[in-house]
Amino acid sequence: MKTQLPIAIAFLSGFIMILAFFSANPGMVNFSQNLLTWVTIVGGISLLLGIVSILKVNLRVISERGKDWGFKLILVLFVLGMSICGIIWGTKENTPFDWLFQNIQSPMMSTMFSILAFFVASAAYRAFRARTKEATILLITSVIIMLGRIPLGQYLWDKLPDYADWIMAYPNLAVQRGIIIGAALGAAAMSLRIILGIERTYMG
Amino acid sequence: MKKRVICLLLFIIIFYLFNFETAFANTSEKSSWFRIDRLNILILLILFSTVILLYIRSAKKGKEFFIRKISGLEAVEEGVGRATEMGRSVLFIPGIHELDEIQTIAGLSILSKVAKITAQYNTPLLVPVRYPLVLAAAQESIRGAYLDMGKGEDYDPEMARYVAGEQFAFVAAVYGVMRRDRPATNVSMGAFYAESLLLAEEGHESGAIQIAGTANPEQLPFFIAACDYTLMGEELYAASSYLSKEPLMLGSLKGQDWMKVLLVICILLGVLFETLQIGGGFFYKLFIEH
């Protein structure tokens, strides 16, 4: 029963969504949209699970004065602090929650994202070292693309942007489409395995 | 019989809950029950399902299939072995998407196999997740794997933990794990976006052996540049079948391959017919939604 019921639910949900995809009947479309709304509602409620997990893991370390307990204390304080601010004063503009988000959370997330620029450089350096035939082709292609995308490239040779565009529009796009078609077939086959209950490893 | 009755009852309850009579109220619009513009997709779906089901049937009868070697998956056991020898943990990231993304489910299926190996070698496993539903599924997946290996007593629900709901807050939390715990093996399987390179580069910096897989083509170059092994697109979805070696799962992979052959033939014929301006645009119409 413990495994049969989830499989039955997966089968029915998948089957209904397929039916709804091929039907324009308002009742059927409404039905499938309601199912998707349920997913959102369940996802929202489950946030409580996440908060419990964060508090459980970190409070244990804090109480035992474990490794890096100071960082975990800051994390717990901010989880509780932002939750309390949101519950008491709401999340609209000019509320304490908004202030915390705009002045602490948002800049920290931007900082994380900006590190990407440095990592692109270090990863590109490793990938473009011409140690093999393939890496050399990659290096030459990337030089053409990068120079073709900036004014300096056009200044050096006016045909360079055309070559860069050609590489992006033909060899690059062909490979991307190949990967996308393969992935789409893989996703469809996996969906079929899940709907039919053959694939059940994700359920434990 | 009991299972079928349960399914039927469940189906009736769900339909009742969703007030299905609205569907029957519109039966006057005869054409609205089926979207004729999606007939080509339906034909393809039926054909695809039939091919896969036929291969599953022959797998059930005991036919063995050849599946090519995927080095990234072969390296999973090697990676866990390395972590065991070094006395360090294995870090598994099932992507940053919600459970409604098929890549996340593919990632969780791989997690189940990885957890079985870590259970076998008593290697610590860490699974940071971004969504609570994924947390619940990951915990179940790991628990099931540990029970299967007869190591139920070693299972700790905190192996999978919710770390943050925001994309870059999640990255910061995983950085912390990579810096402080220094896992010997990082396995990233699922849907990844801008954080793919951030995670992979940090993992490279920490000296971990890295195995990554995603079906997002834009992120693949980053994984290829920074990881030791990369599963590309369909390999991610094939991974659970490949690792399980179950004939039923492998049968579906073989069916998928034949569909690919069929699509390649259609594309080649389409190119030929469209170039020569013959066939009245049949192949063009076959692949577009009208």
**Cβ A120–B197 below 8 Å, yes or no?**
yes
For residue A103, what are the contacts with CB-CB under 8 A and spacing of at least 6?
none
| B178 band by pLDDT with thresholds 50, 70 and 90 | very high
User: Which residue did the predictor score with more confidence, B23 or A160?
Assistant: A160
For A64-89, give the secondary structure using H, E and C.
Answer: CCCCCHHHHHHHHHHHHHHHHHHHHH
Tokens of B59: 């797998």
What confidence tens digit (pLDDT) does each residue in A51-72 have? 998 999 899 999 999 888 999 9
Contact with chain B for residue A106, Cβ under 8 A:
no
What residues of B are in contact with residue A186 (Cβ under 8 Å)?
A: 215, 233-238, 256
Q: Which residues make Cβ contacts (< 8 Å) with residue B145, sequence separation at least 6?
A: A204, B111, B112, B113, B115, B116, B119
- In B, minimum Cα distance to A41 occurs at B133
Task: Please say if the pLDDT value at position B4 is more than 70.
Answer: no
A125: contact with B, CB 8 A cutoff: no
Residues 6+ apart with CB under 8 A from B79: B90, B184, B185, B187, B209, B211
Question: Residue B94 pLDDT > 90, yes or no?
Answer: yes
Rounded to an integer, what distance in angstroms lies between the CA atom of residue A32 and that of residue A194?
Answer: 18
Q: Provide the CA B55 distance to its chain's centre, in angstroms.
A: 20
Yes or no, beta carbons of A109 and B167 under 8 Å apart: yes
CA-wise closest residue to B215 among A193, A190, A8, A126: A190
| Contact A21/B at CB under 8 A | yes
Interface of B with A in 185-204 (CB under 8 A): 194, 197-198, 200-201
Of B102, B109, B226, the CB nearest to A201: B109
Query: What whole-number distance in Å separates Cα of residue B199 and Cα of residue B84?
Result: 22
Selected residues 57-96 of chain B with any CB under 8 Å from a CB in chain A: none
Whether the pLDDT of residue B241 is over 90: the answer is: no
Question: Can you name the residues that pair with B230 across neighbouring β-strands?
Answer: B212
- Closest-CA distance, A169 to chain B, in angstroms, reads 15
Lowest model confidence (mean pLDDT) among A23-32, A147-156, B43-52: A23-32
State the smallest CA–CA distance between residue B234 and chain A in angstroms.
4
Checking if the pLDDT of A202 tops 60, the result is: yes
With an 8 Å Cβ cutoff, are A203 and B144 in contact?
A: yes
Is A25–B232 a contact, with Cβ atoms under 8 angstroms apart?
no
Is A121 an interface residue toward B (CB < 8 Å)? no
The rounded distance, in Å, linking the Cα atoms of B243 and B249 is 10
Tell me the chain A residues in contact with residue B238 when contact means C-beta distances shorter than 8 Å.
186
Mean pLDDT on B143-164: 93
Which chain B residues touch A58 with a CB distance below 8 Å? none
Q: For residue range A62-102, list pLDDT tens digits in order.
A: 999 988 899 999 999 999 999 999 999 999 999 999 999 99
The reply to whether B158 touches chain A by the CB within 8 Å rule is yes
Most confident of A20-29, A167-176, B40-49: A167-176
* pTM > 0.90: no
A103 touches chain B (CB under 8 A): no
**Do A182 and B133 make contact, defined as CB atoms within 8 angstroms?**
no
pLDDT of residue A110: 94
